[in-house]
Amino acid sequence: MAKQPKSAKKGPSAMTLAMAGTGVIAIVAWLAYNVPWLCLFVVAGFLPTLAAAIVDPTRQKHDAIAVGTMSMGAMLPFLLDGFAMMGRTGGREILGNAFAWLSVYGAAVFAWGLCWLFPIIANIIYENRAQNRLRQLQRRQNSLETEWGERVKELADLPPQ
């Protein structure tokens, strides 16, 4: 009986993934039990990220990554402050902090703006550069025609030999 070739491993094993998943679930369960207000803040703060993941048509989900990163960056100071006050209030005042919500959703709006406006702005810049280069080449062509005469224009229409 012929040996079957070893297939190259493409990622972590199922057992490793199961252990990691169990660990993540345990940490989330502990946080949800001990600081439910902070968990609620995180879930509500990541709603724009969820919307970006649903709306983004690409496979890589760059919009969701940008929105999630900006949202997490805006949430982090408030989460650390909530963990510091975990014993006294459990971070409940974060839910009523208008500045926290404005920061998180403002960061998400900024990320959406980058994702939508950056390609448009880059396209405008490249289009202007191409038009400028075309004008330069036309000026150069006109100067060559005045210097060398109409014969240059006729030779340009011939196929190369």
Q: Which residue ranges in the chain fall short of pLDDT 50?
A: none
Long-range pairs for 110-116: beta carbons < 8 A, 24 or more residues apart: 110/70, 111/52, 111/63, 111/66, 111/67, 111/69, 111/70, 111/71, 112/48, 112/52, 112/63, 112/67, 114/66, 115/52, 115/62, 115/63, 115/66, 115/67
pLDDT at 38: 86
* 131 within some domain: yes
Residues of the domain holding 56: 19-156
* 109 within some domain: yes
The Cα–Cα gap between 95 and 93 comes to 5
pLDDT at 13: 87
Name the 3-class secondary structure at 8.
Answer: coil
* 9 within some domain: no
* 7 within some domain: no
* 12 within some domain: no
pLDDT at 136: 96
Report how far apart, in Å, the C-alpha atoms of 53 and of each of 57, 62, 66, 112 are: 8, 9, 10, 12
pLDDT at 11: 79
Euclidean distance between the first and the last CA atom of the chain, given in angstroms as a whole number: 64
* 3 within some domain: no
Number of separate domains in the chain: 1
Chain center to CA of 21: 25
pLDDT at 35: 83
* 130 within some domain: yes
* 126 within some domain: yes
- DSSP secondary structure string, 20-68? HHHHHHHHHHHHHHH-HHHHHHHHHHTHHHHHHHHH--SSS-HHHHHHH
pLDDT at 36: 85
